[in-house]
Each structure stands twice: as C-alpha cells, then as structure tokens.
Amino acid sequence: MSILVRISPLLRSLANCQELHTVSSGSPLDCLLDIAGNHPALRKWTHDKEGGLLRQVQFYVNGQKMEAEELERPLKDGDEVFILLGISGG
C-alpha cells in the first residue's frame, strides 16, 4: 500500500523538508506524524506542546477537504494527501 503525501510550500520552507513523501498506511493524521518523525521541525507548526493538532493545519485527501472527525479514517492505496497551514498574509 502506498499513499502520496504532499507538504505545502510554506510548511516545507518552515520545516526544511521536501515536497513529496510516501507513506505505507494509516490515516491523514498518521501520515503527518510519520513525516514529522523524520522532520521534527514540522511539529512546531502542526502540534502544540501537549501534542495536540493545531487548528491551523488543513488536510485534503484526493482534493477534498477533510473535517476534524475524518482525520483518523484509514486511507486507501493510491490516496493522495495534501497537508497545509491556514494562511492570512496579504
């Protein structure tokens, strides 16, 4: 099983990680934790000090926005996950 995970340009600039990652299984939240395991700087922008997911993190699966209650739903082979931060600069 293979899931492609894309990290947004802002997030990969802040965490100094690459754009595309392959994850073998899990939920959207598991994908983030998997990648953050190899890129600890990512967690500063996605999780609080107690390990809770920050509300500024957004997940899309196959181009569809995931709501909070959908983040632990298992993904399927071939799914594509896009992880971004909410932004408001002008």
Partner 1 sequence: MIDNQDLTRYRRQMMLPGWGPEGQERLKQARVVIAGVGGLGSPVGLYLAAAGIGHIRLLDGDKVELSNLHRQIVHSMCDIDRWKVESARDRLQALNPEIEVEALGSMITADNVFDLVGDYAIVDAMDNLQARQLLNRVAVKRGLPYFHGAVYGMEGRITTIIPGETPCVSCLYTDVVSGDLPVVGTTPAVIGCLQATEVLKYFLGLGDLLTGRQLIYDGLALRFHEVKVKRDPKCLECASKYSFSGGPV
Residue ranges that bind partner 1, judged by CB under 8 A: 6, 8-10, 12-14, 19, 45, 54-56, 60, 63-65, 67, 82, 84-90
Q: Strand, coil or helix: what is 31?
A: helix
Contacts of 50 (CB under 8 A, 6+ apart): none
Q: How far is the CB of 58 from partner 1 (least distance, A)?
A: 8
Choose between 1 and 44: whose C-beta lies nearer to partner 1.
44
Choose between 25 and 79: whose C-beta lies nearer to partner 1.
79
